[in-house]
Amino acid sequence: MKISELGEFGLIDILTDLTKECKQESNRNILIDSGDDAAAWQNDSAVNMVTVDCLVQGVHFKLDKISWRELGWKALAISLSDIAAMGGNPKYALFSLALPGETDVDNVIDLYKGILELGCRYNVKVIGGNISKAPLVFIDSIVYGAANSPDIMLSRSAAKPGDEIAVTGYLGAAAGGLKIVKSDLPLSGEIKDTLLRAINKPLPRIEEGQKLAAGGVKCAMDISDGLVADLGHICQASHIEAVINIDAVPVHPAVKTAFGNDALDMALSGGEDYELLFTAGHYIIENIKKQFDCPVTVIGKIVAGDNYRVKLLDRSDNTYLPSDKGWNHFGK
Ligand SMILES: [Mg+2]
């Protein structure tokens, strides 16, 4: 059935019933959820956080390259990653969907199943949303999170000269997935699956963000625009400069295998890896490494400076210029 046949309210009823099937611990604080003009919940935290992000058909995804279920997962994941980057505990989510009338109702149900699959995994409750008609698919995800104290929180503006710069996991896999999606590269098997999963079904580093904050880290962000571009955001916010040792950058093994000499630039500039980029003193990072299941790699250091730039050096201390500077809406 098409949503133009079912109508807005029939679709809302189906999606509301789906979210109610997902029993979660966070439900206990909710006073009113889907079905009223606004959601309401009792506050139980010292610090509240909220973030919003969107996925737009033709800009962030093509419907023939991602399943509706993956699209739902990704729409929630990108906002959860922003809460992770603050060291927060994500709690509630709202979705505003804009959809063409020709959209099949089963596709929207699959979209919500993807949202709920990830939401249930991290105890994030969908408490409402909005639906509008539009010529393209547009998915807005709003996530509320919390932290127990302002002292246990991460921000982009807390980097200090002398800090080491570190990242979780490996970089470049989402850029590899994007290349496969855009150019139909003749790759197959496990490498193709790994790279496509990275772009279509990213896993936000929620537990890791909370462990960073609890472990004494103050400065972090998630890598959505690309390592160099995002580190530039930290430099701007913290009024410092950064030096990256390019040989230390943890390039994803699947990207090295599939793309050879291009792999480093993909790890430096490719967006959407949703790994955490953070800075802290040497001993704090050594302690963090012992607590994490995923790799934590020191890739450089924070230095004083007024130009707020990111400098890339190779092993001979020569400046390295990547071929691409990372994701930038409207290209300015
Ligand atoms: Mg972010």
**Contact residues for 215 (Cβ-Cβ < 8 A; gap 6+):** 284, 287, 288, 291
Task: Return the closest-CA partner of residue 75 out of 139, 1, 8, 149.
Answer: 139
- Among the three residues 80, 112, 147, which one is the final residue of a domain in this structure? 147
Q: Which residue's structure tokens are 């604080």?
A: 29
Instruction: Tell me how far the alpha carbon of residue 221 lies from the centroid of ligand 1, in angstroms.
Output: 6
Q: Which residue's structure tokens are 């994030």?
A: 124
Residues with CB under 5 A from ligand 1 (ion): 82, 222, 224
Instruction: State the pLDDT at residue 7.
Output: 87
- Among the three residues 112, 147, 182, which one is the final residue of a domain in this structure? 147
Instruction: Tell me how far the alpha carbon of residue 222 lies from the centroid of ligand 1, in angstroms.
Output: 5
Instruction: State the pLDDT at residue 332.
Output: 42
HSE (side-chain half, CA atoms, 13 Å) at 224:
23
Q: Which domain holds residue 260?
A: 164-326
For the chain, the domain total comes to 2
Instruction: Tell me how far the alpha carbon of residue 52 lies from the centroid of ligand 1, in angstroms.
Output: 10
Same domain, 96 and 240: no
Q: What's the CA gap between 107 and 101, in Å, rounded?
A: 12
Angle of helix 105-121 relative to helix 8-21, nearest 10 degrees, comes to: 30
DSSP state of 222: E
Same domain, 222 and 301: yes
Same domain, 143 and 179: no
Within a domain: 154: no
Instruction: Tell me how far the alpha carbon of residue 225 lies from the centroid of ligand 1, in angstroms.
Output: 8
Instruction: Tell me how far the alpha carbon of residue 246 lies from the centroid of ligand 1, in angstroms.
Output: 23
**Contact residues for 205 (Cβ-Cβ < 8 A; gap 6+):** 81, 84, 168, 169, 222, 274, 275, 276, 294
Within a domain: 278: yes
- Contact between 64 and 187 under an 8 Å Cβ cutoff? The reply is no
Instruction: State the pLDDT at residue 325.
Output: 62
Same domain, 175 and 321: yes
Instruction: Tell me how far the alpha carbon of residue 297 lies from the centroid of ligand 1, in angstroms.
Output: 20
Within a domain: 222: yes
Same domain, 169 and 316: yes
Instruction: Tell me how far the alpha carbon of residue 223 lies from the centroid of ligand 1, in angstroms.
Output: 7
Strand (E) or helix (H) holding 175: helix 173-183
Instruction: Tell me how far the alpha carbon of residue 81 lies from the centroid of ligand 1, in angstroms.
Output: 7
CATH code of the domain containing 284: 3.90.650.10
Same domain, 136 and 183: no
Q: How many residues does the chain have?
A: 332
Instruction: Tell me how far the alpha carbon of residue 234 lies from the centroid of ligand 1, in angstroms.
Output: 11
Same domain, 226 and 119: no
- Among the three residues 113, 147, 181, which one is the final residue of a domain in this structure? 147
3-state helix vs strand vs coil in the chain, percent to 5: 40, 25, 35
Same domain, 141 and 183: no
The reported pTM is: 0.92
Same domain, 22 and 136: yes
CATH code of the domain containing 104: 3.30.1330.10
Same domain, 138 and 263: no
Instruction: Tell me how far the alpha carbon of residue 167 lies from the centroid of ligand 1, in angstroms.
Output: 14
Instruction: Tell me how far the alpha carbon of residue 186 lies from the centroid of ligand 1, in angstroms.
Output: 32
Within a domain: 155: no
Each residue of 46-65: b (16+ CB within 10 Å) or e? ebebebebbbebeebbeeeb
Instruction: Tell me how far the alpha carbon of residue 36 lies from the centroid of ligand 1, in angstroms.
Output: 30
Same domain, 176 and 208: yes
- Mean pLDDT for each 10-residue chunk of the chain (332 residues)? 89 88 73 75 81 94 95 98 95 96 97 97 93 96 91 92 98 95 82 95 97 96 95 95 97 95 94 96 98 97 95 93 67 47
> What Rg, from alpha-carbon coordinates, does the chain have?
20
Within a domain: 159: no
Same domain, 222 and 79: no
**Which residues are paired to 220 by β-bridges?**
278
Within a domain: 92: yes
Instruction: State the pLDDT at residue 29.
Output: 78
Instruction: Tell me how far the alpha carbon of residue 220 lies from the centroid of ligand 1, in angstroms.
Output: 10
Within a domain: 331: no
Instruction: State the pLDDT at residue 328.
Output: 57
Within a domain: 250: yes
Instruction: Tell me how far the alpha carbon of residue 150 lies from the centroid of ligand 1, in angstroms.
Output: 19
DSSP state of 25: G
Instruction: Tell me how far the alpha carbon of residue 92 lies from the centroid of ligand 1, in angstroms.
Output: 18
Instruction: State the pLDDT at residue 329.
Output: 55
Q: What's the CA gap between 164 and 159, in Å, rounded?
A: 9
